[in-house]
Each structure stands twice: as C-alpha cells, then as structure tokens.
Amino acid sequence: MSGALTRYRLIAYVVGVVLILLVVVGMPMKYLFDEAVVVETIGPGHGFLYMVYLVAAFDLARRAGWPLGRILKIMLAGTVPFVSFWAERVVTRWAREAIDEQASGRVAVPAGDAVRPASVEPRDGAGVGP
C-alpha cells in the first residue's frame, strides 16, 4: 500500500499545482485580457492528470478499505484549488494509520464503520442458553 500512497501523493501535488496555474493564471488571462493560450495549453493537461488522480485515489482507497463516502470526498478534493494540498495531508495520515494497522496484524476499520466483535455477549440476555 505504500506504493499506492506514493503515487497518490505525487499526482495530488501535480494536479494541485496545475489547477492553481489554470485558475490563477489562465482564467484571468482568458477573461480579462482575451488571451486563451494558457487555458488552451494547460486545460487539457489538467483534465488528463485529474483522471490519473482519480485512478490513484481509488487505488489507494481500495487498498486501505475505506468506505465509498470517504473515497468520493478524496476524489472531489482534486477539483478545488488549494484543497488538494490539504486533502493530500489528511489522506496521507489516514493511509499511514492503515499501513501501521496492517503491519501490526490488526484489521483496519474505517471511521464510522465500528463493528461489535463476535465474542461480545448481548446485554439483554438474548441468545443466552435455554
């Protein structure tokens, strides 16, 4: 899973930088100065890189066993300028926790997916012998 984390981190940074260039440089040039060369050059590249980001995010999330809601949030983080950098830090922390849990032999249970162990007896006495 550490390889998937490295791939995700790299593409998250690249997508974040390209998106900032597109929004901060390209869009003002296009709409304020009627010069679309930056948008026409960087835009298609960002679209392709975002698809790579989606694949890397899904691969990492699948290996970590995260729930669908978390996966979708990670994927959407690449669409908002500057948020991808914050999301990369959060995802890296989650992934490292999952790596540590897998290394120690514990099963990773994503937040919100708490499961009662099978060895716990019910409190109301239901299911207890005759």
How many domains does the chain contain in total? 1
Does residue 68 fall inside a structural domain? yes
Does residue 54 fall inside a structural domain? yes
Does residue 125 fall inside a structural domain? no
Nearest by Cα to 6 from 91, 75, 78: 91
If you search the block for the tokens 């970590």, which residue do you land on? 64
The model's pTM is 0.72
Residue 42 pLDDT exceeds 80: yes
Does residue 122 fall inside a structural domain? no
Does residue 128 fall inside a structural domain? no
Assigned token pair, 81: 């300028």
Distance between CA 24 and CA 12 in Å, rounded?
18
Nearest by Cα to 89 from 8, 3, 4: 8
Instruction: Report the share of the chain in percent with pLDDT over 70.
Output: 81
pLDDT in tens, 69-103: 888 988 888 888 888 889 899 999 988 988 888 87
Does residue 65 fall inside a structural domain? yes
Does residue 66 fall inside a structural domain? yes
Does residue 46 fall inside a structural domain? yes
Predicted pLDDT at 99: 85
Question: DSSP characters for 6-25?
Answer: HHHHHHHHHHHHHHHIIIII
Nearest by Cα to 58 from 114, 7, 122: 7
Determine the structural domain holding residue 55 and report its residue range: 2-103
